Amino acid sequence: QRNTRAEIKEPDLSPLITEEDLKKHVYFLASDTLEGRMTGEKGSRLAAKYIAKSLKQIGIQPMTSLNGYYQPFDFSSGVEVKTDNTSLLWKNTSEENAQKTRSDLVLGVDFRPLAFSSNGDFSGELVFAGYGLKVPGEGAESYNSYAGLNVSNKVALVLRYVPEGVSSARRAVLNRYASLRYKAMIAREAGAKGILIVSGPNSPNPGKLIPMRSDQSLGDSGILAASINSDSADAWLSSSGQNLKKLQTGLDQENPHAVRALEIPESKVQLSIQLNRLRKQDNNVLGVLHPPRADSAAPEYIMLGAHYDHLGFGEVGGFNAKGEEKMIHNGADDNASGVAAVLEMAGAIRQQLIKAPNSIKKGVIFSFWSGEELGLIGSTHFADQPPMPLERIKAYLNFDMVGRLRENRLTLQGTGSSSKWKSFIEKWNITSGFQLILQDDPYLPTDTTAFYPQGIPVLSFFTGSHEEYHRPADDPDTLNWRGLLRISQFAAKAVKSLIDNESPELTYTEVAPIQNGGQRDTLRVYLGTIPDYTSETEGVKLTGVRAGGPADKAGLKAGDVITSLAGKPIKNIYDYTYALDAATIGKTTEITILRSDVSIQKNIVPIARP
């Protein structure tokens, strides 16, 4: 049963941490009225308004450097097609077939640009390149659709997905190299100026156009890219006596050479694509409790944070089962639970300040991020444009998915970011009695990653993933309310000990990568870089590098922009990921960076991923 409870009114909250108030927060934030709290959408704005009203009612003040509780930020929200400047024309240039020329394919019916396409125009010959795959390996492990095929300055026509007749184990391998972006990059590296992708008759979604869903990347793929329907592909292939069904069936047993390289010299396509990159604005919500007495004019703070955005209808990032398409993803655990915990802690900590003001020497910042699901956009914006100097923030505690406590197990991540964390945690847990799982790695797929590279110790609270993760079933009735209450009380006690007069200072610790052994087929290349996923710079900008990792040893540092790796140009994070997969562990390779607009080449030695 779907949760539809939501009333937009100022919450009536107790100053204590209570299960009743936790439910109030979660049931509002995870209601259908908020439509999944997608960044930049109506539901996100309603959630931000609710959080700001809650902070005001609790007695938490806005930060003086901001206009109220909001810190606005812009982000890339998708793309739209400039219809007047987007077209696809096919022409058979042979005299005998001139009458069969098909021109002016219909946008949205016969073809559709892909969201990562470059803008531009190109006219050239068409080449069928099978599944458009290039898989590294030796012997039968490898697969190269472009072997012996000349696509330089031409347009590649390729099938979507992977061969349909392969085993499930082989499919898992091939799928790593079958994403739309990867196929576009391989075609670009082979010299193609454009790529057209078609879902074959043997594949899922046969003949259908690919939805133009943005992946929130701020960079294009460096090649014109579109999907076409199977009728258009068959019309083109018929000039060479072929059809899509016959060609795909020949390739579906994984032999890339079952169909000979098929150039269609008498077929010419003219492709024009113009996309407009859309921008939207959303807000972080921030409040602060200043210390009543400070030892200096620059008081110090502990910061608590939780992201309040989610996936909307799950069109990007949703792990939908069949029948769950276009359903609201309420995100009760991810992350209404974290927001509720931080709001409840705000009230409890303020009560401590009221009762014993002279016992507190540090203030507390309460931060609620948007854009986490799209790539830590909100927290990264805070770290890039902080409303107060970051050196005054002495620790960041993050709460992301804390509503599903099972078997009393609570995971605390990032304990390696300070040498003090483990001894502190042991004391805090004496009366709480959790079965704690401590994980040292501070580089996490959550908002801590915006702060640890800035020299701030981090600690992230987490109760683990589950089958409802990123699915519509992540509703309030799945939460462990007693567990969420205990976690909120435990964390509030931890914060109180960090801000009182007796608390020793936390020290920041640089965490080096841990190398381990393992079987050859489980190894993945690792450089120890920390990309800035929100950067609009062409290439991959770094927010930092892991201490002792290959990038650190090679002399890379925060602010560098990677423009090539192992001879492969890097235009965006996807190019970088694919180049990493192609690099060799233990073999020195060349990396090119931009530093202060100066191109610098360095040598780097990849290692196995820890």
Does 422 map to a domain? Answer: yes
Does 228 map to a domain? Answer: yes
CATH for 250: 3.50.30.30
Does 579 map to a domain? Answer: yes
Helices and strands: H and E segment counts in the chain: 12, 25
Does 12 map to a domain? Answer: no
Residue 465 and residue 367 in one domain: yes
Single out the residue in 449, 469, 499 at which a domain terminates: 499
Residue 386 and residue 534 in one domain: no
Does 305 map to a domain? Answer: yes
The tokens 């016992």 sit on which residue?
A: 359
pLDDT range class, residue 517, cuts 50, 70, 90: very low
Non-local CB neighbours of 167 within 8 Å, separated by 6+ positions: none
Residue 533 and residue 427 in one domain: no
Which secondary structure element, helix H or strand E, spans residue 281, and what is its range?
A: strand 275-289
- Catalogue the E-assigned strands of 487-573: 525-526, 529-531, 540-545, 561-565, 568-569
pLDDT at residue 588 greater than cutoff 90:
yes
Does 573 map to a domain? Answer: yes
Percent of residues, the chain, with pLDDT higher than 70: 91
Residue 487 and residue 530 in one domain: no
Q: What is the CA radius of gyration of the chain?
A: 27
- Return mean pLDDT, the chain: 88
Does 505 map to a domain? Answer: no
310: DSSP letter:
B
pLDDT range class, residue 217, cuts 50, 70, 90: low
Does 515 map to a domain? Answer: no
Residue 486 and residue 397 in one domain: yes
* pLDDT tens sequence across 289-334: 999 865 667 899 999 999 999 999 987 777 766 678 789 999 999 9
pLDDT range class, residue 1, cuts 50, 70, 90: very low
Residue 126 and residue 247 in one domain: yes
pLDDT range class, residue 514, cuts 50, 70, 90: very low
CATH for 332: 3.40.630.10
b/e code 163-197 from CB counts within 10 Å (16+ = b): bbebeeebbebbeebbebbbbbbbbbbbebbbbbb
Q: How far is CA 128 from CA 150, 206, 263, in A?
A: 10, 18, 6
Residue 248 and residue 357 in one domain: no
pLDDT at residue 387 greater than cutoff 60:
yes
pLDDT at residue 417 greater than cutoff 60:
yes
Single out the residue in 499, 530, 554 at which a domain terminates: 499
Secondary structure string (H, E, C) spanning 355-405: HCHHHECCEEEEEEECCCCCCCHHHHHHHHCCCCCHHHEEEEEEECCCCCC
Q: Which residues span the domain enclosing 47?
A: 19-78+280-499
Residue 66 and residue 109 in one domain: no
b/e code 36-62 from CB counts within 10 Å (16+ = b): bbbbbbebbebbbebbbebbeebebeb
CATH for 547: 2.30.42.10
pLDDT range class, residue 148, cuts 50, 70, 90: confident
* pLDDT tens sequence across 10-44: 677 888 999 999 999 999 999 999 999 999 999 99
Count: domains in the chain: 3
Single out the residue in 232, 251, 273 at which a domain terminates: 273
Residue 104 and residue 220 in one domain: yes
Percent of residues, the chain, with pLDDT higher than 90: 60
Query: Do the Cβ atoms of 239 and 254 come closer than 8 Å?
Result: no
Residue 338 and residue 227 in one domain: no
Count of CA atoms in the C-beta half-sphere (13 A) of 541: 14
The predicted structure's pLDDT at residue 257: 61
- With vertex at residue 458, the alpha carbon angle to CA 452 and CA 463, rounded to the nearest 5 degrees, is 125
The predicted structure's pLDDT at residue 135: 83
Query: Do the Cβ atoms of 287 and 167 come closer than 8 Å?
Result: no
Residue 36 and residue 154 in one domain: no
Residue 535 and residue 469 in one domain: no
pLDDT at residue 229 greater than cutoff 90:
yes
